[in-house]
Amino acid sequence: MSRLGRTSARARQVWRALRKNPYLERVEQARHRNEDPPPPEPPPVDDLEPDPEADPGIPRSLKVASSWAWRTLVIAAAVIGVLYLADILAVVVIPMLISLLLAAMLQPLVALLVRAHIPRSLAAAVVLVAGLGTVAGVLTYVINQFIEGVPELVANVQRGVQTIQTWAKEGPLHLEQAQIDNFFKQLSDSISNWLAADPTSAAETAGVTLGVALTTLTGLFLVLFTTFFFMRDGRRIWNFLIGMLPTAATEPMVRAGNASWRSLVSYVRATILVAVIDAVGIGAGLVLLKVPLAIPLAALVFLGAFVPIVGATVSGAVAVLVALVGDDWVTALIVLGLVLAVQQLEGNVLQPILMGRAVSIHPLAVVLAVGAGVVLAGIIGALIAVPLVAVLNAGVRQLRMKPSPPPTEEPAEESPPTGTVTA
């Protein structure tokens, strides 16, 4: 090969090496990025498709309304289906929901015993038996107080009826004794006829009573067993249910479940504390005023506090009525003022401080939830409606929140290249 050919081949090798230099490639990429991209060519007029939103035949508002309508119908159908299944399985669903409330109330005690190196199964059993013993003792005391106070209340009612008869006879009405006796006789006969059992339906009544007793007994055993296993294996049961979901839904559902459980525990603790304060405050006032059935009325106030707003109103009205019938209208007014003061303390101080934002629900939502619970499941529905709404509220809010990204380490500064480019 001649000298000129070798020089030309060497020049081509040097040029190829220079083209493969990474610094030159970066310069070329930067030059191309700085250049403005050519504008896209407009599509031909014949290929343009008509915009369905611009169809003059159907207004856009009607399309939006129809979209909302069918989606709302689908959601309503799903809710109705769930309620229908819950009604069919009410013997199982209602005890399970009550067990969740009891487990949320007793779980802190189980955790305390577990931290004291007691096996979880034994701790759950001890807490459950102790809770049953406490409830049985309180019920026994309240029932005994009720039995002891009924004769005094009946005597006060009789005196009140005699006072009404005297007022009707000697007051502005000037009724005759025969008319008064006839009125009370008709009232007594109406009550007796309403309470009297029809001999033809005695068998049906006995069958219904037996069915209700069996259903109640079954529900009680389900509540006991379910509460025990919720306290012992609650975390494992939830992890098992979450494990059946797709992988992408596992982490959001874990966060939603934890938030819902914290909300339920906060609700139950706050409700119990508020119920104790209400019962002690109103019960002490009834005892000082010597109102008949003061202890049973305090127990009624305690139970009524588990149904927010509605339960406190009903139990307070019963206390005022008993004070009116058992004593006089002055005592009834004092009891009314006491009930209103305790309810204001509960609504404006206790619940905002104890429950906080974890179970913050608007009063209108509480009233509507209690009303829907009464319509769907009676007293049990009123009891579980508000905690169910609180749990759903906390879970949905957690699902709507985006998880905060994990902290990332700051990238280390790149060391300058060892080689240099010289002009």
Over the chain (423 residues), what is each successive 10-residue block's mean pLDDT? 66 67 62 60 52 63 89 92 86 87 88 89 90 85 78 70 67 65 68 53 57 78 89 86 84 86 85 86 86 84 81 83 78 87 78 64 79 82 84 84 56 43 39
Separation CA 328–CA 41 (nearest Å) = 93
CA distance 300 to 275: 10
Alpha carbon 54 to its chain's center: 45
Residue 158 lies in a domain: yes
The answer to whether 377 and 94 are in contact (CB under 8 A) is yes
Q: How distant is the alpha carbon of residue 254 from its chain centre?
A: 18
Residue 40 belongs to some domain of the structure: no
Taking phi first (over 0 means left), then psi (-120 to 50 degrees means alpha), and beta for anything else, what does residue 42 get? beta
Return the exposure string of 300-337: e unless at least 16 CB atoms fall within 10 Å of the residue's CB, then b.
Answer: bbbebbbbbebbbeebbebbbebbbbbbeeebbebbbe
| Predicted local confidence at residue 72, as pLDDT | 93
Roughly how many angstroms between the first and final C-alpha of the chain, as a whole number?
33
How many Å apart are CA 41 and CA 48, to the nearest integer? 13
pTM: 0.66
Residue 111, classified by CB atoms within 10 Å of its CB into exposed (0-12), middle (13-18) or buried (19+), is: middle
Amino acid at 409: E
- In angstroms, rounded to a whole number, what is the distance separating the alpha carbons of residues 291 and 277? 19
For residue 119, what is the enclosing H or E element? none
Determine the structural domain holding residue 133 and report its residue range: 86-183+219-244
- Exposure letters 254-263 (e unless 16+ CB within 10 A, then b): eebbebbbbb
Residue 175 belongs to a domain: yes
pLDDT at position 175, please? 65
CA distance 344 to 189: 42
The structure tokens listed for 155 are 């005597």
Question: Does the residue 103 lie in any domain?
Answer: yes
Rg (CA), the chain: 37
Per-residue model confidence (pLDDT) at position 358: 53
Per-residue pLDDT, 238: 86
Task: Collapse the DSSP code of 366 into the 3-class scheme (helix H, G, I; strand E, B; otherwise coil) and give the result.
Answer: helix
In a domain, 57, yes or no: no
- For the chain, the domain total comes to 1
Asked if residue 364 belongs to a domain, the reply is no
Instruction: Say if 145 falls within a structural domain.
Output: yes
pLDDT digits (tens, 9 = 90+) for 359-368: 667 777 778 8
133-191 confidence digits (pLDDT tens): 888 888 888 888 778 777 777 776 666 666 666 666 666 666 666 766 676 667 666 65
173-178 long-range contacts, CB within 8 A, separation 24+:
none
246 to each of 165, 243, 253, 387, how far by Cα in Å? Answer: 74, 8, 10, 28
Q: What is the pLDDT of residue 357?
A: 57
DSSP 66-95: HHHHHHHHHHHHHHHHHHHHHHHTHHHHHH
> 262 in a domain, yes or no?
no
